[in-house]
Structure 1
Amino acid sequence: MDKRKEELARKRQKLAELRRLKEERNKVAPEKDPALAAEAPRSRTEDVRDLVNLLLNDKKDEKRPSTPGPTDLVGDSDGGGSDKEPRRLPLNLESNGTETSGSPTISLPQSPQVSASGSRFIPDFSSFEAVILDIAPKEVVFYDKEAQTKETSTNPPAPSEDEIRERVEKELAQREKQRLAQIEEQKAKAEAERRKAAKARDLNEEQRKKILASVDFVEFVDHSTRLVGRVLSDDYDFMKDYSITQVDDTDEDSGNRVKYLYSFFDERWAKSRATRSVTDVNWSHKFPELCVASYNKNPVTSSEPDGLVLVWNMHLLARPEYVFHAQSDVLTTTFSPFHPNYIIGGCYSGQIVIWDNRTKSQPVLKTPLSANGHTHPIYSMQMVGSQNAHNLITASTDGLVCAWQLDMLTQPQESLELVHPGHSKTDEVSVTALGFPDAETTAFWVGTEEGNVYQANRFDRAGSKAGINQYDYYKGHWGPVTGLEFHPLVGKVNFSDLFLTSSVDWTVKLWRAKSASRPSSQVQTITPLYSFEGADDYVYDVKWSPNHPALFASVDGTGRFSLWNLNMDTEVPVVGLNVGSGKALNKIQWDKEGRKVAIGSSDAKVHVYDIGELGQAHPDESKNLQKVIADMAAVSEIESARNVAVGK
């Protein structure tokens, strides 16, 4: 509405301006005749101005077609109407002001005539708002009528869906065939080029020797042959049919028999009859299929190392898994129970050496040849302690006992010289065997060359000093002690005070250890509980079963392996076997489960036997063993009293 009012106001101003101009022209015109004065010709300048104003007003009116123009208002103000014709104004004007004939003209409205009364009609404009209604058109429904006719075109019919599918499948198959043919062609070309490039070239003798001597080639061949050997040594019957029931009469008594499994032997290290001997055997605590054996030097050849340690694998029989060397005969060896990669050895020269299976054949650590450590042969050693605090205890034939930390072998952590004033020849005690009871780290027992067994302490303790207990004699053997082992903690009853010893006097003896916390104040001779005398030669080693409380095994110089069960018989072994070719058997060791034994012989062979059901303990084995030990103790006391009476 405001815009509309503004437009009306502008138009009124224009009309007022036109009236003023007209009145001025009327005043200037001659006043003789009002009629003539009204029709007097106007000047060309005024006509041009009126034309311009008219054109400008027309352009504005085109933008607002609903608004009446000023000329319409002027023309209607006279009220006369039809007798007033608009004047024609020429478009082409000459310089002298004359009108050019034939030129197109434009009509202009004449000036409005003023009424006699002098008043002018002014139209009354009003505004309104249009209401637009959107009415939906009426829905008109159309119907088409058609007739279905048969197509009579002469063109071939369009292919069906099955035909299109078949055509597409043929095209795809053809493309796939072409693609495969291209691939095969490319493969054939590549294979031909590879064969051409890989054509074997002849090597001269110098090049062959260089390749064979290279470290990478040797390691590759060693590793590859080791893997192939494991596969070939596996005796698993992959053709066995489990759906066929087979009756094997030989398995009826398999639970009561000892079964031979295999022997570890390498001809490279045993080329003649005067060969190396196995000095010790041991099983791995981490890998149950690994067994380590130590050997003395070969007296025939000097080109080989004196000391040798071989690690054997039950899945690789033809050759050792690892080979380690030493500068002196290795008399004892063991896997470290706290370091799965370490193999520890004690040498004839008194050195302690440590090998690592992640490195080469030479020791990674060894003790110096000096007076700080051992200078005599080391026949026995044992790891004591726990994972976080453990020591290696070694003993040599000069009576020196040392404790070592495996990561520092420059000098022993502690040294203890075992001396006895009552010794027949020298004060030093020549140690040939050493043993700690289970869960004991300070008190230990040693077997000596003269056949006696002594108890010793690593440290001073209440009632006793460090060193040998001089008042307690374990006397029973008449020759050097070759083996000593305490009863393991097996079953519900603790038999850790029992220990076995073997000797060159052809016997194995069972002892009960006196408490180390209550030493004697005067000389006391302790006799064995029982003596097993079934051997016909030197008894070189004896070991308790780790699973059966009443079972132990021994080996002797005749090549005989004896298995004893105290709950079944104490006079004769339950099993006695001749092992190998009859050579002397030096060492024996049970595996962790107590089902296998490894036996080292003097012909450089390690024999493995399966104990079977004999190695499995029944629930009442511990109680039965208690009764047997009580009977042995009673008989031993009676014999001791009889001997004392006879001596008196």
Structure 2
Amino acid sequence: MSQIYVWNSAVKALRREERKQVFSHATSVTSIVADAPKEKQTRKDIVDDLVKSLLQDKSSSDSTTQTHTKSEDSESYEKHSIPTSVTIPTHIGVSPSTSVPQSPQITTPHNGRFVPFIPEFSSFEAVILDIAPREIVLYNKEVQTTENSFGPPPPSEQEIRAKILKEQEEIERARQIALEEERLRAEAEKKKVQKLKDISEEEKRKIVNSAEFVEFIDYSTKIVERALNENYDFMKDYSIINDVESDEKTGNRVKYMCSFFDDQWSKNRSVTDVNWSKKNPELVVASYNKNPIAMNEPDGVVLVWSLRLLERPEFVFHSQSDVLTTAFSEFHPTLVIGGTYSGQIVLWDMRAKSLPVLKTPLSSNGHTHPVYSMQMVGTQNAHNLVTASTDGLVCSWQLDMLAQPQEHLELVHAEHSKTDEVSVTALGFPDNETAAFWVGTEEGNVYQANRYGRAGGKAGINPYDFYKGHWGPITGLHFHPLFGPVDFSDLFLTSSVDWTVKLWRAKSISKPSTSTQNVAPLYSFEGADDYVYDVKWSPSHPALFASVDGTGKFALWNLNVDAEVPIVNTQVGQGRALNKIQWDKEGRKTAIGSSDGRVHIYDIGELSQPRSDEWSIMQKTISEIIDTTESHGGRYALAK
């Protein structure tokens, strides 16, 4: 079909070229075809040659229509015919087995006329290539799909190899980075060691003695000691029953816990007062007098001890004078207050150094005599520190302004034997009372006084009521805490060097006396064999109180059990005199200060836990004591 199409196209072209000069073109084409090398012809050249050959055939055919003789035609043909054959290559669509028709003969004009040409046709066989259609795969229910049929195609081998190479490169890079970091660390450590080696002995001594280094060592070692000082026996055998009663360091149902002593600050000193912190129940503060041997050390020392740090104190505070009384501020957990032998009131802060942050001046505006007792009264928003000295002066202070007292009151008594001054050794306020207070004196009397004037009385000592019962200086005075269903806050205890502890009932402040009256004690506890230096009510049990004496005895009394003898009488330490005792906030432990500079801690245990009927029994006991005292005319006996 392609050859027929080419042929028709050539015929059409020959007709268009009839008007042109075919003769000149035929001659030039013949020469070009004869001279051109066949092996170097391109497709474009071959097509051009074929078209030109067809044009020659057409012109020859037209020339045969002229009237010539057969002989002339044959001669003319033989003489002037230019045989030309064109071979169609296989790359233009014709099979090699196909026979190509005889190349047409183009005749030249003869005597001004064209010789006619009759083409010869021949048949050839066409080769038909049958290409099978693409197979269409339809769904077959017998073909099962896998879970990865619709997922991404699996990676090729090159992708896997590239991924493995990349992972190996990352591992190698990480290893190189780690090696480099280790090398840098080793170099830095080496430089540090070299630098330390280069430090001279003088520089080392300077670093060790610097304040920052000492403070760091002190703080860090305290933390380590607290962590290691857990009083837990990890070797305890629970199959063995230990008899607490037979322990040498314990009394009847009272357990010895620990003792605080420091060779540098406690040696050759006596404990003058102890107190617990209400904000941090594991802290105990103790005040000490001067050490007569160490003249270069400060005269007064206050140590803050912790139940978690037994070997040394948490804080050490200094004073220029002996500290006779001390306490934590109830409303400022970091402040510690002290009263000194010189009359100064000093204030230390646990956030500061060992020296006082504030102190009162030594002038006529404040105390100039020893301060043995003080108490914080009021509430969080309105409170004062009330102090009393042996010259009879009572002062009220604001802790943030100790330059001068907020108010001062001089206690005098006109009927005093030698002087009108009242030498105060003990001071006590009833709970919920900020104006009326009671003082114990050196002559053994107890007086009621008022901070402010009120109806029917003036500020100062009440001149009509005399609480007489002791025959020596009063060493301690403590009012019953206000807690529980029954109010016993009008009861107070006093201790004295006359070897007794006495129970008193304060007269009603709302009904002041108009004439002189001697108020007798309700009961006298005479179980001590030496001076009784202190006495304190329990803050959790209504009928329980504790006392300490000069023989080193620690006694627990329970009025609901027995008023004749203490329920517990324990020897503390090496038999040295015990100066002060204080209960903790919960009433489970007591801190005892000794004259040998030690602070002993005892666990009261179940004795501090009252039953529900303890208040009613205590009320009945007090009523019996009052009735017995009145019926015997002041003789102290309890009806059995």
Question: Against the structure 1 CA distance between its residues 160 and 352, is the aligned structure 2 distance closer, same or farther, given a 3 Å change threshold?
Answer: closer
Query: How much has 1:347 moved relative to structure 2?
Result: 0.3
Distance 1:628 1:637 in 2: 14
Deviating more after overlay: 523-532 vs 194-203: 194-203
Out of 278, 295, 305, the residue aligned to residue 271 of structure 2 is 278
User: What's the TM-score, normalizing by structure 2?
Assistant: 0.72
Aligned to 2:182: 188
Question: Against the structure 1 CA distance between its residues 641 and 260, is the aligned structure 2 distance closer, same or farther, given a 3 Å change threshold?
Answer: closer
Query: How much has 1:255 moved relative to structure 2?
Result: 12
Question: Against the structure 1 CA distance between its residues 146 and 439, is the aligned structure 2 distance closer, same or farther, given a 3 Å change threshold?
Answer: closer
Aligned to 1:124: none
Letter in 2 for 1:345: G
Distance 2:338 2:276 in 1: 14
| SS of aligned partner of 1:198 | helix
Is this contact kept in 2: 1:403–1:412, CA < 8 A?
A: yes
Distance 1:564 1:642 in 2: 20
Is this contact kept in 2: 1:463–1:518, CA < 8 A?
A: no
Is this contact kept in 2: 1:463–1:519, CA < 8 A?
A: yes
| SS of aligned partner of 2:225 | helix
Query: How much has 1:183 moved relative to structure 2?
Result: 3.2
Q: Deviations over 1:427-477 (max 9, x none)?
A: 101000000000000000000001010100011111111111111111111
Please give the residue correspondences for 1:385-424 in structure 2 after superposition, counting only pairs within 5 Å. 385-424=378-417
Out of 233, 253, 258, the residue aligned to residue 254 of structure 2 is 258
Out of 187, 190, 210, the residue aligned to residue 214 of structure 1 is 210
User: What's the TM-score, normalizing by structure 1?
Assistant: 0.71
Distance 1:526 1:190 in 2: 86
Question: Against the structure 1 CA distance between its residues 534 and 163, is the aligned structure 2 distance closer, same or farther, given a 3 Å change threshold?
Answer: farther
Query: How much has 1:182 moved relative to structure 2?
Result: 1.2
Query: How much has 1:298 moved relative to structure 2?
Result: 0.4
| SS of aligned partner of 1:619 | coil
Q: Percent identity?
A: 67
Q: Is the aligned partner of 1:525 residue 2:521? A: no
Please give the residue correspondences for 1:198-209 in structure 2 after superposition, counting only pairs within 5 Å. 198-199=192-193, 200-209=196-205
Distance 1:494 1:207 in 2: 67
Out of 481, 488, 502, the residue aligned to residue 495 of structure 1 is 488
Letter in 2 for 1:528: P
Q: Where in structure 2 are there 5+ consecutive unaligned residues?
A: 1-131, 139-152
Distance 2:272 2:634 in 1: 40
Is this contact kept in 1: 2:530–2:551, CA < 8 A?
A: yes
Aligned to 1:91: none
Q: Is the aligned partner of 1:628 residue 2:624? A: no
Query: How much has 1:220 moved relative to structure 2?
Result: 1.1
Aligned to 1:43: none
Q: Is the aligned partner of 1:539 residue 2:535? A: no
Question: Against the structure 1 CA distance between its residues 164 and 500, is the aligned structure 2 distance closer, same or farther, given a 3 Å change threshold?
Answer: farther
Distance 2:270 2:531 in 1: 16
Distance 1:147 1:494 in 2: 104
| SS of aligned partner of 2:633 | helix
Query: RMSD in angstroms over aligned alpha carbons?
Result: 2.6
Letter in 2 for 1:184: A
Out of 560, 565, 570, the residue aligned to residue 553 of structure 2 is 560
Out of 347, 363, 366, the residue aligned to residue 354 of structure 1 is 347
Aligned to 1:587: 580
| SS of aligned partner of 1:269 | coil
Letter in 1 for 2:222: R
Distance 1:384 1:499 in 2: 17
| SS of aligned partner of 1:282 | strand
Question: Against the structure 1 CA distance between its residues 472 and 146, is the aligned structure 2 distance closer, same or farther, given a 3 Å change threshold?
Answer: closer
Distance 2:136 2:423 in 1: 129
Is this contact kept in 1: 2:244–2:253, CA < 8 A?
A: no
Question: Against the structure 1 CA distance between its residues 163 and 245, is the aligned structure 2 distance closer, same or farther, given a 3 Å change threshold?
Answer: farther
Is this contact kept in 1: 2:266–2:598, CA < 8 A?
A: no
Letter in 2 for 1:257: R
| SS of aligned partner of 1:334 | strand
Question: Against the structure 1 CA distance between its residues 168 and 616, is the aligned structure 2 distance closer, same or farther, given a 3 Å change threshold?
Answer: farther
Aligned to 1:33: none
Q: Is the aligned partner of 1:464 residue 2:460? A: no
Is this contact kept in 2: 1:270–1:276, CA < 8 A?
A: yes
Question: Against the structure 1 CA distance between its residues 257 and 169, is the aligned structure 2 distance closer, same or farther, given a 3 Å change threshold?
Answer: farther
Query: How much has 1:640 moved relative to structure 2?
Result: 1.8
Distance 1:501 1:276 in 2: 26
Question: Against the structure 1 CA distance between its residues 642 and 219, is the aligned structure 2 distance closer, same or farther, given a 3 Å change threshold?
Answer: closer
Query: How much has 1:224 moved relative to structure 2?
Result: 1.2
Q: Is the aligned partner of 1:515 residue 2:511? A: no
Distance 2:634 2:468 in 1: 15
Distance 1:166 1:610 in 2: 75
Q: Deviations over 1:6-60 (max 9, x none)?
A: xxxxxxxxxxxxxxxxxxxxxxxxxxxxxxxxxxxxxxxxxxxxxxxxxxxxxxx
Letter in 2 for 1:265: F
Is this contact kept in 2: 1:233–1:315, CA < 8 A?
A: yes
Q: Is the aligned partner of 1:435 residue 2:445? A: no
Please give the residue correspondences for 1:313-332 in structure 2 after superposition, counting only pairs within 5 Å. 313-332=306-325
Query: How much has 1:638 moved relative to structure 2?
Result: 1.7
Letter in 2 for 1:513: A
Question: Against the structure 1 CA distance between its residues 445 and 166, is the aligned structure 2 distance closer, same or farther, given a 3 Å change threshold?
Answer: same
Question: Against the structure 1 CA distance between its residues 147 and 511, is the aligned structure 2 distance closer, same or farther, given a 3 Å change threshold?
Answer: closer
Q: Deviations over 1:242-267 (max 9, x none)?
A: xx975645479999711111111111
Please give the residue correspondences for 1:446-461 in structure 2 after superposition, counting only pairs within 5 Å. 446-461=439-454
| SS of aligned partner of 1:470 | coil
| SS of aligned partner of 1:461 | coil
Letter in 1 for 2:218: D
Query: How much has 1:356 moved relative to structure 2?
Result: 0.7
Letter in 2 for 1:183: I
Is this contact kept in 1: 2:576–2:595, CA < 8 A?
A: yes
Query: How much has 1:205 moved relative to structure 2?
Result: 3.7
Question: Against the structure 1 CA distance between its residues 371 and 226, is the aligned structure 2 distance closer, same or farther, given a 3 Å change threshold?
Answer: same
| SS of aligned partner of 2:475 | strand
| SS of aligned partner of 1:287 | coil
Letter in 1 for 2:550: G
Distance 1:162 1:380 in 2: 94
Out of 567, 570, 573, the residue aligned to residue 577 of structure 1 is 570
Distance 1:147 1:285 in 2: 91
Q: How many residues align?
A: 486
